């Protein structure tokens, strides 16, 4: 028979004022299997805990119920006390006599009776409790960071600086991401490259960082602390061990008219190229789609130019395998491009640009060396219109969310324009100005007041070309809905920030969830913004939602700390409140029949297939198995299993059944 | 049923740990009062709540049942409540087909911030069940042969 | 090819030429149009701003009739009717609304009727088939004007690209015409304000005509009786507001195709226009 | 019919399969036949009276063995086979399906894709009996429904023929045999009967293909197949599940949609 100890707390007078605590202890004390029952003023106090510890030893208790406050408050306290007395902590349960009883009912017979019922319920539960051991998972102390923009750079440096190895994977030939494309940054107008490039160099030189550029994640298997990543190193066609980065090949490459990705299509590049002069690594790759040799089998001019013989024509993609313990996703965002705004003429009229294109144009290293000139005829525009919310906050475009950064960069663009074209006239059409951030509102006010940017509250219906001008038809809703028509020389669209292309496929590879817009989903919108639902995979930057640089850097550092915390122990210790599939003696092995409906029900991909084989190696059956590293203990699988083959520790069938039966049996 | 005013319904509440249990805690810390008829059983998630537990509750003499968890999109485990919602849609439909009184099961979303909603929910449910009277129909079949035995004892 | 046909009021009144050209082209292409029996007004353009039940019940009756008469698909040439039918079908996916309408109509309504406009009919018929029957290529530079009702709201109609539709342009290209990129493809012509606020219609329709004319269009191609009448019938008033009068005609897509198929001007109703059609 | 016999005999003779599951003439109606050699294939018959759902044997390893086997399957059986496939209970390389299409042609369906494509042509309709009882139930008040089922259930003596006949009841240990805790008492009594049948219906949500085998099997004629059938009909539009055309991943209860509709959660 069980030997349960019951400890009823007065909580000062919080419980005892409405509940007859002595009667509770007395009545519960008479229950079958209860060896000891007392009440005390403050169970959670030192003397209170000592009562429990002593009783555990004295009565050789195999279960403890504390009738006190909410278990959400003191369950860890009392479980620790039990553990200190040598009782498995998971044999201790709490009955909530305060929040769920004394505080919500008046002093009465019924209130005391309810308290008795609640304690009895937990006594019945605890009789069915089993001693549980914490789950220990070994941790590989190396991190994989996917994406080499500012988020990935920051996360990599922060993790590397805690002394752990980092593998940084970047899809493009250089790290740097969108931040390297920016001209100046709000709200300080400091040059983006000036603050970013030192970080890029630091990444390249850091002894703890292994950098794979021009590489993509092929697959990720495993679970927290124990991932195996396969990374595809795309063929660069250049041997980086000998290449000096002199750039002679680039000078001589005959294919010169390829739209430059780095310049957002405004400039051109060659087929063998480095994306931009400050690239890290500053060595070229050959774009095989556009290279004459790969297209037509002849050319090889770069090979003749190269004095160290670094060109490798028959180089193939390579797959490397890396064991890592944690992953930081920092794959960033993209901007909506052509064909998304037929009404604004983007892609149709050369002088309608995206914000990112304007950014390149305003950049001193850009295609126009920082001068604002119309792509169509090279003329400096005297009238420029900025359209904020181009796509964002527009459910009809499928983007109901706010892209967050556009208000600020549009103000910056208008400001930069006014600084560069003194007699120019700039107009911003906006829905609302969202300038939440340190010095942000002041920055926008400066654009309006000092740089005399004309802000018009209203949306633009259409942009069309007429006699070499772009006619912007919009509305000014502050002046009673007046229609406005502006004959502009250039139009800049603050295009919506969207999930990076391929993010959905990447999410599926990693088993992380994503929102309807393909941004990766955080584990909790408030309290777990850098975690994903897959333990051991963290988020940094705009891959989670559009965000600005300071926020991205903050999030990256946050993710890095999460990784460092995970790496601070050799083993990961987790609460054992996870699901288990029963195992029985042959010939049944388990009552699980392997229908795997639990697999689709599990939000964490914690259900694995386990093959049960006979001595001769033949397959007897395939059953479900819970990966303890991934299971978070929600129990959805348990309620779903028809044959009750899967159960969840801490809330087992027997435990909850006993609770329900106890509550209703009188 | 004329004596309904004297009838104290037995109501059992199945709630998830993260939203409704915490919401009921908040009811306590806010010192809002509600009827003593409801007793809470704590689950990790509404996704864990087995429909058989609801049937067993009626069999054991519950007059009413509350099932409550996180609002859609708020689930601590992201989707346990969505699974639960589907399960309850189907379960309710079966019970209704079989003629079980589905008015006696109150489903609800109560978040950790909705302490007053929990108090309201309990009070309303108690009043509703009180007006429906004891669930004698189900008791009658439960009493035939098997009431009282709790067959999980070691 | 056999298909149901709902002409609607405009096509029997102010836009008889649209009806005539639809029928003539269908005949030439051997499309068997089965006119819906006992049809009623769809309620455009007034009902939906006055009385929701009425605005749903009128189109619902049309659809219920079609279902009753065993039609699976109907073509609705008038953009306003097309719009009202599609929107009603969408609205009636809501069960309470459907119940209410069923109560009013006292007719069964399933809601699975396929409703298409003329452009969709011609697309479904096949551009290759049209091409094969051309006798006189439509060698003109024209501006295709879609207006509002044919493409909006996109969430419900799901027809063509809402801000830059292409289907009519494609048809014109099939019959040998040249289309243009212009700014007023989907701008409003003033619609139902033709009578109550003629001044507005004159302004809005004037803008459309002016841009098309400035870009060298020989004609405007339309698929909506409302647009056609505003751009054609109000031309006198429009021209009064302009420096130089615009004389380009406004013809229906079916008239353009009819010409290419060699159908006579009279049969296509081209004599009925206010602005003389010389194409 | 001759074609089936010939084909079955060939398959067995050539060793393509070691077993052909089909029907032979029984005393009152056709009964299952396990042909293990080409001789016994001569006894095979196939017509509209062959309604016994042979899919129930496919999950029984002791019967079908380890080698490839063939099954003669009318449309209801094909639906069950598809559901079993989705639940990872059948593999393509062990199974060969023979069926006769409405024009009397013998069809061999090798892949599950073939089966799905074939099943797609057939609409699942209510029969006269189903229609009659279900419309009767539809008109009842809740209390009347309770009384109706109580009366019906009072005949149930827990023989579990319904469970044995159902191709989808393939658990190695049924919930009624779970005794820690004993969720449902094994004896026949009003409560235990009610709980068993509600439980069975819940376990069938999104899985039942309305083959009717459980109802046919019930020795006391309780229309239990209508409970699962009604659920199937009600839930299919709700959750987008089509019997015999099941979604590749998961079933109605192990998946969800953000906009699942309900009006009862406060």
Q: Cα(A244)–Cα(A238) distance, rounded to whole angstroms?
A: 11
Per-residue confidence (pLDDT) for residue A223, from 0 to 100: 84
Q: Count of CB contacts below 8 A, A vs B? A: 137
Looking at the structure, do residues D186 and D231 belong to the same domain, yes or no? yes
- Strand-pair category, A326-329 with A490-495: unpaired
Q: What does DSSP say about strands A318-324 and A226-233: parallel, antiparallel, or unpaired?
A: antiparallel
| CB within 8 Å: D171 and A642 | yes
The answer to whether the Cβ–Cβ distance between D262 and B83 falls below 8 Å is no
Substitution target from A340, A466, A472, A485 for chain C, most C beta carbons within 10 A? A466
**Is there a single domain that holds both residue A457 and residue A605?**
no
Pick the CATH number of B8-140 from 3.40.50, 3.40.1350, 3.30.1490, 2.40.50: 3.40.50
Which of D228, D232, D151 shows the shortest CA–CA distance to D193?
D151
**Nearest Cβ partner for A462 among C154, C181, C183:** C183
pLDDT above 50 for A482: yes
B71-106 pLDDT, tens digit each: 988 888 888 999 999 999 999 999 999 999 999 999
**Interchain CB contacts (distance < 8 Å): A and C:** 20
Q: Are A406 and A389 in contact (CB under 8 A)?
A: yes
Omega into A281 within 30° of 0, i.e. cis? yes
- β-sheet bridge partners, residue A233: A215, A318
Shared-domain flag, residues D115 and D174: no
Q: Are residues A418 and A525 in the same domain?
A: no
Q: Distance (Å, rounded) from C-alpha A550 to C-alpha A530? A: 15
Chain B residues in contact with D195 (beta carbon < 8 A): 52, 55, 59
Q: Does A636 touch chain B (CB under 8 A)?
A: yes
**CB atoms inside a 10 Å sphere around CB D62:** 6
**Between chains, do A72 and B25 touch, taking CB under 8 Å as contact?**
yes
Same domain for D151 and D206?
Answer: yes
- Asked if A404 and A261 sit in the same domain, the reply is no
- Residue in the structure block whose two tokens are 């149901």: C4
Domain count for chain D, please give it: 2
Residue partners of D170: CB distance under 8 A and separation at least 6: A593, D59, D60, D84, D89
**Residues A298 and A427 occupy one common structural domain:** no
Task: Round to whole Å and give the CA distance between A316 and A523.
Answer: 38
User: Count of domains in chain A?
Assistant: 5
Taking a C-beta distance cutoff of 8 angstroms, is the pair D220, D154 a contact? no
Task: Establish if D133 touches chain A: CB-CB under 8 angstroms.
Answer: no
Contact A433, A455 (CB under 8 A): yes
Query: Residue A367, SS3?
Result: coil
pLDDT exceeds cutoff 70 at B149: no
How far apart (Å, rounded) are the C-alpha atoms in residues A418 and A377?
Answer: 20
CA C43 vs CA A339, C39, C48, C71: distances in Å = 36, 12, 7, 21
Mean pLDDT of chain D: 91
**Mind listing the pLDDT tens digit for each residue in B99-131?**
999 999 999 999 988 999 999 999 999 999 999
Contacts (Cβ under 8 Å, ≥6 apart) of D25 = D31, D43, D45
Separation of alpha carbons B17 and B38, rounded Å: 16
Residue D97 has pLDDT above 80, yes or no: yes
- The enclosing H or E element of A307 equals none
By the 8 A CB rule, do A227 and A202 touch?
A: no
Q: How far apart are CA A149 and CA A194, in angstroms?
A: 15
User: Could you tell me which residues come within 8 angstroms of residue A449 by beta carbon, excluding any fewer than 6 positions away?
Assistant: none
The alpha carbon of residue C153 is apart from the nearest alpha carbon of chain A, in Å, by 9
Q: Which residues, in sequence order, are bridge partners of residue A143?
A: A166, A326
Answer for the pair C117, C159: CB distance below 8 angstroms, yes or no. yes
Choices 3.40.50.2300, 3.30.450.40, 3.30.70.520, 3.40.50.11810: CATH for C134-272? 3.40.50.11810
Separation CA A159–CA A565 (nearest Å): 10
Which of A76, A101, A74 is CA-nearest to residue A89?
A76
Check pLDDT > 80 for residue A181. yes
Joined together, the tokens standing for residue C120 give 């969709």
A635 contact B CB<8A: yes
pLDDT of residue A666: 57
Place of tokens 């009882």: D133
Q: Closest Cα to residue B75, out of B60, B65, B63, B85?
A: B85
Reduced to 3 states, what is the DSSP secondary structure of residue A200? helix
- pLDDT band per the 50, 70, 90 thresholds, residue B152: very low
Nearest neighbour of B48 by CB, restricted to A108, A533, A635: A635
In a domain, A661, yes or no: no
Two tokens, residue B52: 């058989």
pLDDT in tens, C108-128: 998 999 999 999 999 988 888
Give me the percent of chain A exceeding a pLDDT of 70.
Answer: 100
Picking from D162, D141, D249, the residue whose alpha carbon sits closest to that of residue D214 is D162
D53 found inside a domain: yes
Q: Can you name the residues that pair with A230 across neighbouring β-strands?
A: A219, A321
Contact C119, C167 (CB under 8 A): yes
The reply to whether residue A114 touches residue B36, judged by beta carbons under 8 angstroms, is yes
Query: What is the band of D1 on the pLDDT scale with cuts at 50, 70, 90?
Result: confident
Q: Is the pLDDT of residue B154 over 70?
A: no
Structural Rg of chain C based on CA atoms: 18
CA–CA separation, A176 vs A362, rounded Å? 18
Q: Which residues of A touch C161 (CB under 8 A)?
A: 342
Q: What torsion, rounded to 10 degrees, do the Cα atoms A47, A49, A54, A56 define?
A: 160
Q: Locate the domains of chain C by residue range.
A: 2-118, 134-272
- Write the CATH number for A637: 3.30.70.3270
pLDDT reported for residue A313 = 95
Q: Are residues D139 and D163 in the same domain?
A: yes
A534 and A620 housed in the same domain: no
Indicate whether D25 and D59 sit together in one domain.
yes
Give the β-pairing of A482-488 and A469-476. Answer: antiparallel
Are residues A524 and A459 part of one domain?
no
**For the segment D188-215, what is each residue's pLDDT rounded down to a tens digit?**
999 999 999 999 999 999 899 999 999 9
Give the CA radius of gyration of chain A. Answer: 32
Least confident piece of the model among A629-633, C3-7, D138-142, D147-151: A629-633
Residues A292 and A227 in one domain: no
Within 8 A by CB and 6+ apart from D223, the residues are D133, D152, D215
Question: What whole-number distance in Å separates Cα of residue B25 and Cα of residue C181?
Answer: 65
Mutate to test the interface with B, among D142, D204, D259 (most CBs of B within 10 A): D142
For residues A492 and A506, membership in a common domain is answered with no
Calculate the average pLDDT of chain A: 94
Q: Quick one: which of B107, B128, B139, B122 has its CA closest to B37?
A: B122
Packing angle of the helix pair A21-29, A109-127 (nearest 10 deg) = 40
- With a cut of 90, say whether residue C18 has pLDDT above it: yes
- As a three-state string, the secondary structure of C88-108 is HHHHCCCHHHHHHHHHHHCCC
Q: What is the pLDDT of residue B147?
A: 47
Which residue in this structure is represented by tokens 């066609």? Answer: A237
CB C125 within 8 A of CB C117: no
Q: Could you tell me if A274 and A262 are in contact, meaning their C-beta atoms sit under 8 angstroms apart?
A: no
Could you report how far apart the first and last alpha carbons of chain D are, in Å? 59
The pLDDT value recorded for residue D248 is 64
Residues A602 and A583 in one domain: yes
Interior/surface letters A82-96, b for 16+ CB within 10 angstroms, e for the rest: bbebebbbbbbbbbb
In a domain, A78, yes or no: yes
**∠ CA A186-A192-A197 to the nearest 5 degrees?**
155
Which chains share 3+ C-beta pairs under 8 angstroms with D?
Answer: A, B
Instruction: Determine, yes or no, domain membership for D244.
Output: no
Nearest C-alpha neighbor of D230 from the set A189, A340, B98, A265: B98
* Per-residue tokens: A346: 């983007």
Instruction: Supply angle C-alpha C158, C162, C166, rounded to 5.
Output: 100
The minimal CB distance from C163 to the residues A342, A465, A471 is found for A342
- Closest to A396 (Cβ–Cβ): which among C154, C164, C181? C154
Residues of A contacting chain D (CB within 8 angstroms): 588, 591, 593-601, 622, 640, 642-645, 653-654, 657-658
Query: How far D16 CA sits from the closest chain A CA (Å)?
Result: 22
Best to test chain D binding among B46, B90, B102, B132 (most D CBs inside 10 Å): B90
Question: Domain for residue D233, yes or no?
Answer: yes
**H-type alpha helices, A469-548:** 503-510
Q: What is the CATH number of domain C2-118?
A: 1.20.1050.140
Token reading at C262: 């060699």
Q: Establish if D158 belongs to a structural domain.
A: yes
In A62-81, the residues whose Cβ lies within 8 Å of chain B are: 70-72
Domain boundary pick from D119, D150, D184? D119
Rounded to an integer, what distance in angstroms lies between the CA atom of residue A593 and that of residue A595?
6
Rounded Cα gap, residues A103 and A18, in angstroms = 8
Strand pairing report for A285-286 and A272-273: antiparallel
pLDDT digits (tens, 9 = 90+) for A257-294: 999 999 999 999 999 999 999 999 999 999 999 999 99
For residue A328, is it within any domain? Answer: yes
Tell me how crowded residue A401 is: count the other CB atoms within 10 A of its CB: 18
pLDDT score, position B5: 61
Q: Which residues, in sequence order, are CB contacts of C80 under 8 Å at separation 6+?
A: C8, C10, C42, C44, C45, C149, C224, C225, C226
Average pLDDT, chain C: 93
Element (H, E) at A217: strand A215-223
pLDDT of A153 strictly over 80: yes
**Strand (E) or helix (H) holding A221:** strand A215-223
State the best of A104, A124, A576, A579 to mutate against chain B, taking most chain B CBs within 10 Å.
A104
Residues 134-193 of C with CB under 8 A from A: 154-155, 161-164, 181-183, 187
User: Where in the sequence is the domain holding A176, given as residue range(s)?
Assistant: 142-234+317-332+500-567
Minimum Cα–Cα distance from C165: chain A residue: A342
Q: What is the pLDDT of residue A252?
A: 95
Among A101-115, A239-253, C156-170, D236-250, the minimum mean pLDDT is found in: D236-250
Tokens 């507005």, located at residue: C200
Residue C76 pLDDT > 80, yes or no? yes
> Where in the sequence is the domain holding D73, given as residue range(s)?
2-119
**Size of chain A in residues:** 666
Structure tokens at B35: 């009827």
A398 to chain C: closest CA residue = C155
Is there a common fold for C2-118 and C134-272?
Answer: no
Q: Do B50 and A128 touch (CB under 8 A)?
A: no
Element (H, E) at D77: helix D75-86
Contact A157, A199 (CB under 8 A): yes
């Amino acid at each position: 028979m069980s030997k349960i100890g019951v400890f009823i707390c007065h909580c000062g007078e919080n419980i005892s004022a409405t509940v007859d605590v002595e009667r509770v202890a007395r009545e519960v004390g008479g229950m079958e299997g209860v060896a000891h029952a007392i009440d005390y003023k403050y169970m959670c106090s030192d003397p209170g805990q000592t009562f429990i510890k002593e009783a555990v030893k004295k009565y050789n208790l195999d279960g403890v119920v504390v009738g006190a406050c909410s278990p959400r408050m003191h369950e860890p306290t009392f479980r620790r006390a039990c553990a200190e007395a040598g009782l498995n902590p998971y044999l201790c349960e709490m009955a909530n006599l305060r929040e769920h009883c004394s505080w919500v009912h008046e002093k009465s017979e019924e209130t005391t009776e309810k308290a008795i019922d609640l304690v009895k319920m937990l006594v019945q539960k605890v009789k069915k409790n089993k001693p549980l051991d914490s789950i220990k998972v070994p941790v590989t102390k190396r991190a994989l960071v996917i994406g080499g923009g500012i988020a990935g750079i920051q996360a990599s440096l922060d993790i590397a600086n805690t002394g752990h190895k980092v593998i940084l994977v970047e899809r493009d030939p250089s790290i740097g991401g969108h931040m390297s494309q920016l001209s100046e940054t709000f709200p300080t107008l400091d040059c983006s490259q000036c603050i970013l490039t030192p970080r890029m160099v630091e990444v390249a030189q850091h002894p703890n960082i292994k950098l794979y550029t021009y590489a993509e994640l092929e697959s990720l298997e495993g679970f927290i602390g124990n991932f195996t990543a396969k990374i595809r190193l795309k063929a660069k066609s250049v041997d980086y061990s000998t290449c000096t980065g002199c750039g002679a090949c680039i000078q001589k490459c005959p294919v010169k008219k390829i739209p430059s990705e780095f310049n957002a299509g405004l400039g051109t590049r060659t087929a063998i190229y480095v994306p931009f002069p400050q690239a890290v690594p500053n060595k070229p790759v050959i774009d095989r789609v556009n290279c004459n040799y790969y297209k037509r089998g002849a050319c090889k001019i770069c090979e003749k130019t190269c004095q160290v013989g670094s060109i490798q024509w028959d180089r193939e993609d390579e797959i490397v395998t890396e064991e890592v313990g944690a992953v930081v996703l920092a794959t960033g965002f993209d901007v909506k491009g052509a064909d998304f705004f037929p009404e604004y003429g983007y892609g149709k009229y050369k002088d309608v640009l995206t914000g990112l294109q304007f950014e390149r144009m305003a950049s001193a290293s850009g295609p126009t060396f920082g001068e604002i000139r119309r792509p169509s005829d090279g003329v400096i525009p005297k009238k420029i219109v900025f359209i904020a919310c181009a796509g964002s906050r527009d459910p009809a475009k499928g983007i109901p969310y706010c892209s967050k950064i556009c208000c600020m960069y549009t103000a910056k663009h208008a400001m930069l324009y006014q600084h560069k074209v003194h007699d120019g006239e700039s107009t911003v059409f906006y829905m609302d100005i969202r300038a939440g951030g340190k010095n942000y509102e002041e920055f926008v006010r400066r654009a309006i007041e000092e740089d005399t940017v004309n802000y018009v509250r209203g949306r633009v219906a259409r942009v069309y070309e007429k006699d070499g001008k772009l006619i912007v038809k919009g509305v000014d809703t502050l002046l009673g809905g007046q229609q406005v028509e502006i004959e502009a020389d250039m139009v800049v669209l603050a295009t919506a920030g969207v999930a990076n292309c391929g993010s959905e496929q990447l999410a599926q590879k990693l088993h992380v969830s994503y929102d309807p817009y393909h941004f990766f989903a955080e584990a909790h919108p408030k309290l777990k913004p850098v975690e994903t639902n897959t333990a051991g995979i963290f988020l940094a930057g705009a891959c989670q939602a559009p965000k600005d640089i300071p926020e991205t850097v903050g999030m990256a550092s946050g993710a890095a700390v999460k990784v460092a915390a995970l790496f601070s122990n050799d083993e990961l210790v987790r609460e054992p409140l996870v699901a288990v599939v029963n195992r029985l003696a042959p010939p049944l092995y388990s009552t699980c029949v392997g229908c795997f409906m639990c697999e689709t029900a599990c939000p964490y991909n914690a259900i694995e297939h386990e093959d049960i084989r006979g001595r001769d190696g033949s397959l007897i059956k395939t059953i479900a198995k819970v990966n303890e590293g991934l299971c978070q203990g929600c129990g959805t699988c348990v309620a779903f299993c028809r044959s009750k083959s899967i159960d969840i520790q801490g809330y087992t069938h027997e435990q909850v059944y006993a609770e329900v039966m106890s509550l209703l049996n009188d | 049923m004329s004596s309904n005013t004297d009838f104290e319904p037995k109501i059992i509440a199945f709630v998830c740990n993260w939203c409704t249990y915490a919401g009921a805690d908040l009811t306590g810390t806010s010192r809002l009062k509600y009827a003593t008829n409801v007793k809470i059983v704590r689950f990790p998630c509404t996704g864990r709540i087995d429909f058989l537990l609801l049937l067993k509750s009626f069999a054991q003499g519950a007059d009413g049942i509350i099932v409550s968890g996180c609002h859609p999109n708020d689930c601590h485990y992201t989707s346990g409540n969505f699974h639960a919602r589907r399960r309850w849609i189907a379960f309710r439909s079966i019970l209704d087909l079989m003629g079980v009184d589905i008015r006696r099961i109150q489903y609800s979303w109560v978040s950790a911030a909705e302490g007053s909603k929990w108090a309201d929910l309990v009070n309303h449910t108690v009043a509703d069940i009180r007006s429906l009277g004891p669930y004698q129909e189900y008791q009658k079949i439960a009493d035939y042969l098997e009431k009282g035995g709790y067959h999980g004892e070691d | 090819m056999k298909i149901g046909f709902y002409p609607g009021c405009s096509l029997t009144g102010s836009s008889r030429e649209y009806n005539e050209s639809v029928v003539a082209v269908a005949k030439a292409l051997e499309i068997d149009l089965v006119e819906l029996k006992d049809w009623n007004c769809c309620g455009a353009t007034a009902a939906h701003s006055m009385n929701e039940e009425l605005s749903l019940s009128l189109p619902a009756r049309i659809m219920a009739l079609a279902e009753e008469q065993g039609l699976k698909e109907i073509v609705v040439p008038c953009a306003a009717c097309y719009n009202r039918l599609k929107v009603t079908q969408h609205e009636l996916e809501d069960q309470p609304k459907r119940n209410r309408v069923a109560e009013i109509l006292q007719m069964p309504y399933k809601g699975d009727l396929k409703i298409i406009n003329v452009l969709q009919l011609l697309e479904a018929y096949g551009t290759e088939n049209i091409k094969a029957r051309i006798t006189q290529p439509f060698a003109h530079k024209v501006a295709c004007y879609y207006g509002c009702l044919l493409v909006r709201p996109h969430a419900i109609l799901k027809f063509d690209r809402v801000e830059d539709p292409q289907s009519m342009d494609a048809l014109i290209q099939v019959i040998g015409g040249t289309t243009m990129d212009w700014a007023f493809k989907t701008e409003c012509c003033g619609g139902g304000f033709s009578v109550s606020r003629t001044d507005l219609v004159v302004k809005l329709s004037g803008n459309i005509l002016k841009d098309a004319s400035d870009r060298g269009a020989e004609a405007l191609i339309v698929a909506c009786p409302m647009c056609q009448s505003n751009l054609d019938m109000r031309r006198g008033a429009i021209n009064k507001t302009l420096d130089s009068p615009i004389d380009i005609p406004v013809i229906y897509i079916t008239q353009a195709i009819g010409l290419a198929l060699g159908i006579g001007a009279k049969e296509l109703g081209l004599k009925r226009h206010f602005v003389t059609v010389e194409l | 019919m001759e074609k089936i016999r010939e084909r079955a005999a060939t398959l067995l003779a050539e060793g393509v399969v070691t077993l052909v599951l089909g029907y032979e003439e029984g005393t009152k109606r056709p009964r299952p036949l396990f042909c293990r050699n080409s001789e016994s294939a001569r006894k095979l018959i196939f017509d509209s009276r062959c309604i016994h759902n042979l899919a129930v044997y496919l999950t029984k390893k002791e019967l079908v063995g380890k080698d490839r086997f063939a099954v003669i399957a009318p449309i209801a059986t094909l639906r069950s086979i598809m559901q079993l496939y989705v639940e990872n209970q059948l593999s393509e390389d062990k199974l060969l399906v023979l069926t006769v299409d409405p024009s009397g042609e013998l069809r061999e369906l090798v892949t599950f894709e073939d089966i799905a494509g074939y099943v797609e042509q057939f609409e699942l309709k209510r029969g006269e009996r189903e229609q009659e009882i279900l419309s009767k139930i539809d008109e009842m008040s809740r209390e009347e429904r309770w009384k109706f089922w109580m009366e019906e259930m009072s005949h149930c003596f827990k023989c579990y023929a319904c469970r044995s006949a159902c191709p989808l009841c393939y658990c190695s240990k049924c919930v009624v045999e779970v005794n820690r805790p004993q969720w449902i008492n094994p004896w026949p009594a009003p409560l235990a009967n009610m709980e068993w049948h509600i439980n069975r219906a819940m376990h069938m949500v999104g899985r039942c293909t309305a083959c009717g085998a459980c109802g046919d099997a019930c020795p006391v004629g309780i229309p239990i197949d209508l409970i699962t059938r009604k659920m199937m009909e009600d839930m299919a539009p709700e959750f987008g599940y089509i019997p015999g055309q099941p979604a590749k991943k998961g079933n109605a209860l192990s998946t969800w949609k953000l906009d699942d509709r309900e009006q009862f959660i406060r």
